[in-house]
A and B are shown apart, each in its own frame.
Chain A
Amino acid sequence: MFYIYCPYCAEYREEEEFHPKGQAHIARPLDPMATSDDAWGDYLFFRDNPRGVHHELWVHAVGCRKFFNVTRDTRTYAILETYRIGEQPSVTADSVSTGSAASTATLTGVQA
């Protein structure tokens, strides 16, 4: 069971307080009616399933009700960072594989 740092409450809480909502950073096409059937299908149904760094959307369902993002390693289930809606991840598959400074992010959800 995960121990998740809510970036709005600024506290660790048990997974039971949260709901996972799938892959993060899925933007709704701005002009849906001008979007092809294929592109619309991709938006609706197709998601990444990486082995390694994955960005996910979670909601603090029985806490502050805020949605936020989680960067999680699907191999170890380690949470590498959590960050607010509208922000970009500082840990990515690229930053981890190239060993850049961002990969020193800790479980606290804040950068080390």
Chain B
Amino acid sequence: MSELQQRRVAAGAGLGLEIDRDRPLAFTFNGKAYQGYAGDTLASALLANGVDVVNRSFKYSRPRGVVAAGAEEPNAIVQLGASEATQTPNVRATQQALYEGLTARSTNGWPDAQRDMMSLIGKVGGPFMPVGFYYKTFKAPASMWLTYEKMIRKAAGLGRAPSEGDPDIYDHVHRHCDVLVIGSGPTGLFAALTAAKSGARVILCDEQERFGGSARDSDETLDGVPAPHWVAQIVERLAAMDNVTLLVRTTANGYFDHNFVTLHERRTEHLGDSAAMTGGRRQARSRLHRVRARHVVLATGAHERPLVYAGNDVPGNLLAGAVSSWIRRQAVRPGERLVLSTTNDTAYRAALDWQAAGGEVVAIADARANPEGAMVERARAAGMRIIAGSAVIEATTDRKGHRVNGARVAAVDIAGHRIDGSIETLVCDTVASSGGYSPVVHLAAHTGVRPVWRDDILGFVPGQTVAPVKGFHPVGAAAGVYSLGMAFDAIAEHLPAALAADGIALAPSAPPQLETLAQGEAVGLYHVPHDKPTMRAPKQFVDLQNDVTAAAIELATIEGFESIEHVKRYTAMGFGTDQGKLGNINGMAIAARCLGQTIPETGTTVFRPNYTPVNFGAIVGRHCGELFDPERYTAMHQWHVEQGAAFEDVGQWKRPWYYPRQKASGERETMHEAVARECRAVREQVGVLDASTLGKIDIQGPDAREFLGRIYTNGWEKLAVGKARYGLMCKDDGMVMDDGVTTCLADNHFLMTTTTGGAAAILEWLEIWHQTEWPELEVYFTSVTDHWATMTLTGPEARNLLSELTDIDLDREAFKFMEWREGTVAGVPARIYRISFTGELSFEINVQANYAMPVWEALFAHGDQYGLTPYGTETMHVLRAEKGFIIVGQDTDGSMTPEDLGMQWCVGYNKPYPWIGKRALTRSDTRREDRKQLVGLKPLDAEVVLEEGAQIVLDPKQAIPMRMVGHVTSSYYSPTLDHGFALAVVKGGHKRLGERVYLPMADGVTHVAEVVSSIFFDPKGQRQNL
């Protein structure tokens, strides 16, 4: 098959530095088999095989080919993966190393890139997607939107996610270093070596397949050896140092605050569809390095800018530098006859390489009136035709638009933006262009710093805002320093000083020796004029990925978009995964010209992370499946599992929700049936709840009691040792934030319980008041939530059961309601609290969590004769609601005062210290009589269980929108009352007892309910005092 690599230059010409012709690799693209070599990228292998069309464009569906050789590639974006599970979208073919069996498809194109349905639309209805098409074309009629959207998505497609689980695993690594060097071109290598030689901890990363950057295919010499050899020597030295971490195939994708940089390392993407198994374990496919660097050296180089001319998107239009890269690295010459259009010397290398690789250089159109410089002289000496003061104004194409077949060249008047003289048509199959270089400032811009324009280099460089980002050092081309010698000198001179400020002493390092070529000055040309006005000329593309043309930008400015940020959004220039790598500067230059401004006046848009797409796996790392979020289990969790409990997530806790049993019929109980049974067991016999998840905070210190008095709404000064009290906590705005029972263990020792969900926040709340407002109080807080397991034994038989297991006197006079006692339960030291959240006689047994399971099992060993029944959170909710006990966060929402809840009994109006929340209760707003207040609702129809969240109105016949006066907060069916019931908040509700309210539902039904007391069961609270 290798004879099919018709564009591979034969061995012997000294080209193809990076391929191994002895290692052929088979691959498929759009279902067709091809062959390349080890060392190819997918892009170079496709070019070697003469595959011109690799995609269809996003908007106009035009055939597109590979343009660039690196991350800036806008067209050759493929869907990778031989199986469904390994599908990877958005892969740039220029960044994907070839491996045996690689399978790729075009991302765009329906049914495929060669025969595209959408191109008909693109050609017939040019205005099908005009500029601003999102806003204009699909605006109306609204009913058509679904149709439009389907078409756009199918036609545009930006790849697809796999529909099967990913077989690969991904890693995160946290790293710290003194110096992170991003980019391993000559300047990056020299900076890394300079820092590393002195012992600084250095990370050097490069996004490409190997280190070296521009030196990979340079014909310069450094320190007397060819540049690629010099790279190998430096890398070898760095690799031998313990203080250096080398990361190849690693893209710095985001640069965040305080020199935090995310690096995406592709560890196995160059080897196969998914990572290999080693010793029965799958290797990590890719790895996200989260690097905290003291210094960041940005050595990301520059991207070559293409020129904007008519037909510049047809396959065969290439970046000049990319042509050199393919010829030198992979011995691929992607055509026969080349026309080069350039504004600078450097691009001449493409022509020289083309000729060296056996191709014909038809002409070089140089926009400068008097091209001069070493490279120009070499081209002249090689007999090439140089047409000074000119440019390719249009690349012509065959009928299908699949390949360039000619170039129209004309003299251009740059200042006047018009062609000047006659047009010559040259026969060629390739047009390479170079409009200069744009420093890769993306990462610098991630820090929020806008790039600044420099006229001398015709490009944006990293800027500064009010203060420089500390430890940030752009170097070389990324800083607009294109002379390698000057870049080396700057590093040798400034890096040691910069690091010395941080106590990192660098030994002086001599810059590498190099020969410098005489360079002619470049000229600023972005949008090449055409013989027709821009609007009527063939399309001149600015942003190939988003199909933005020069005409679109002109139109945007005519339609009044003057800010470059608005132009960007109107045209979609620089959107998405492209992030304006190739087109942004050209686009800004066009906008500037149309607006009669300079480029710096027009400004630039902001580049955002990520620099190139990162797969979700790398972002997620190991935080998926059972490691997605921690699960917290109580000490009795296994028992609940074995009993077949259904679980409910409460924060990270897994709590038993209800315990469905098998019925006589063999079926399992429904939730409704299980909850009804559990409720009756508690009201009639005895039930037990695993309440271990309640937050518990141990509070000690001589000022503990004073502290409680300030933080709770009610009084604590008289709570005796051995007693417990319910407490309500407000924020200083007077709104209820948490509640729970706090027990006095000793005069300076209390145990506070909080809601399950509030535990961590309440501890922080206590700390902030202590540390910032009352540091004079001596008090200490410790979370003991996990240390104690809690079993709530509740129901008329609770005392009888517990008395079989404890040495504590449970007599109702010896151990009263709202007291606690210490003793043993089932032989285990325990604290028992006589508190109740069900309204029934209750004992809350607390034991050290490690000993909890035997105690729990002992309860059940003795529980049969009393009908002991485990119950879950759903039953707990029903039972507490029957008693009108609130759940903070369910019956309150951060806008409820204790008074709104009718809990004045829990407010210490006369406490001496102005406790948290007190002042707010006398604000005019909290005194309003029409505030929403907590009440009970009893549906007139006993079968109805109102919807939680349902809105309440007073007049069901009023016109929509109705005046809403409140909503349902908790609603259940009560097996005890044999009736649906609810808690709700209603404006002025405390004065509405006995009134009827209405709840109109979405299905048209309106429920009617009576406003009643929020206490539905045992209003006098006699049952808990048995």
A residues with CB within 8 A of B: 1-3, 14, 19, 21, 28, 31-33, 35, 37, 40-41, 43-45, 52, 57, 59, 61, 65-67, 73, 75-79, 85-86, 107
Contact = CB atoms under 8 A, between A and B. Distances in A.
Nearest to A107: B470
B923 A67 contact: no
Contact of A33 (B772, B773, B914): B914
Contacts of B257: 1-3, 77
B919 A1 contact: no
Nearest to B915: A32
Contacts of A78: 258, 467, 469-470
A3 B259 CA distance: 9
B260 interface: yes
- Report the 8 A-B pairs with minimum CB-CB distance, sorted nearest first: A32-B919, A3-B258, A32-B914, A67-B771, A77-B257, A1-B260, A75-B466, A76-B467
B775 A85 contact: yes
Interface in B749-780: 764, 767-768, 771-773, 775
Nearest to A80: B467
Interface centre among B466, B775, B918, B923 (most CB of A within 10 A): B466
Nearest to B925: A37
Nearest to B781: A65
A76 B918 contact: no
A41 to B, nearest CB: 8
Interface string B526-537: 000000000000
B1025 to A, nearest CB: 37
Nearest to B731: A44
Contacts of B260: 1, 3
B924 interface: yes
B18 interface: no
A3 B924 CA distance: 44
Nearest to B292: A3
A73 B771 contact: no
A14 B772 contact: no
B811 to A, nearest CB: 43
A44 B733 contact: yes
A9 to B, nearest CB: 15
A66 B732 contact: no
A57 B768 CA distance: 10
Nearest to A103: B467
B665 interface: no
Given A1-B257, A44-B733, A78-B470, A35 B919 contact: yes
Contacts of B918: 32-33
B914 A107 contact: no
Given A14-B292, A37-B924, A77-B257, A19 B764 contact: yes
B258 A79 contact: yes
B256 A59 contact: no
Nearest to B918: A32
Contacts of A61: 764
Given A28-B732, A37-B923, A40-B920, A75 B773 contact: no
Contact of B923 (A40, A73, A75): A40
Given A14-B292, A43-B732, A65-B767, 9 more contacts: A1-B258, A45-B733, A59-B764, A59-B767, A59-B768, A65-B764, A66-B771, A76-B465, A85-B775
30 contacts: A1-B257, A1-B260, A3-B258, A3-B292, A14-B292, A19-B764, A28-B773, A31-B914, A32-B914, A32-B919, A33-B918, A33-B919, A40-B919, A41-B923, A44-B732, A44-B920, A52-B466, A59-B767, A61-B764, A65-B764, A67-B772, A75-B466, A76-B448, A76-B469, A77-B257, A77-B258, A77-B448, A85-B771, A107-B258, A107-B470
A1 B256 contact: yes
Interface string B766-804: 011001110100000000000000000000000000000
Contacts of A73: 466-467
B481 to A, nearest CB: 24
Contacts of A59: 764, 767-768
Contacts of A37: 923-924
Contacts of B466: 52, 73, 75-76
Interface in B419-476: 448, 465-467, 469-470
Contacts of B259: 3
A28 B913 CA distance: 13
Nearest to A57: B772
Nearest to A44: B733
Nearest to B293: A3
A40 to B, nearest CB: 6
Contacts of A41: 923
Interface centre among A32, A43, A52, A65 (most CB of B within 10 A): A32
Contact of B772 (A31, A35, A52, A85): A85
A18 to B, nearest CB: 11
A103 to B, nearest CB: 10
A112 B679 CA distance: 67
B768 A2 contact: no
Contacts of B256: 1
A4 to B, nearest CB: 8
A32 B920 CA distance: 9
A65 B767 CA distance: 8
Contacts of B922: 33
B13 to A, nearest CB: 50
Contacts of A67: 767-768, 771-772
A43 B734 CA distance: 13
Interface string B209-233: 0000000000000000000000000
A2 B919 CA distance: 37
A35 to B, nearest CB: 7
A33 B923 CA distance: 10
B701 to A, nearest CB: 16
Contacts of A35: 919
Contacts of B470: 78, 107
A52 to B, nearest CB: 8
Nearest to A14: B292
A85 B767 CA distance: 12
B629 to A, nearest CB: 15
Contacts of B771: 66-67, 85
Contacts of B924: 37
A28 B257 CA distance: 33
B178 to A, nearest CB: 14
Contacts of A77: 257-258, 448
A107 B257 CA distance: 12
A75 to B, nearest CB: 5
Nearest to A29: B919
Nearest to A67: B771
Contact of B775 (A31, A79, A86, A107): A86
A31 B918 CA distance: 11
A14 to B, nearest CB: 7
Contacts of B467: 73, 75-76, 78
Contacts of A1: 256-258, 260
Interface string B243-287: 000000000000011111000000000000000000000000000
Contacts of A52: 466
A35 B918 CA distance: 12
Contacts of B764: 19, 59, 61, 65
Contacts of A76: 448, 465-467, 469
Interface centre among B733, B768, B919 (most CB of A within 10 A): B919
Contacts of A65: 764, 767
B258 to A, nearest CB: 4
A65 B919 CA distance: 28
A37 B926 CA distance: 11
Contacts of B772: 57, 67, 85
B652 to A, nearest CB: 14
Interface in B62-111: none
A33 to B, nearest CB: 6
A6 to B, nearest CB: 13
A66 B467 CA distance: 30
Nearest to A35: B919
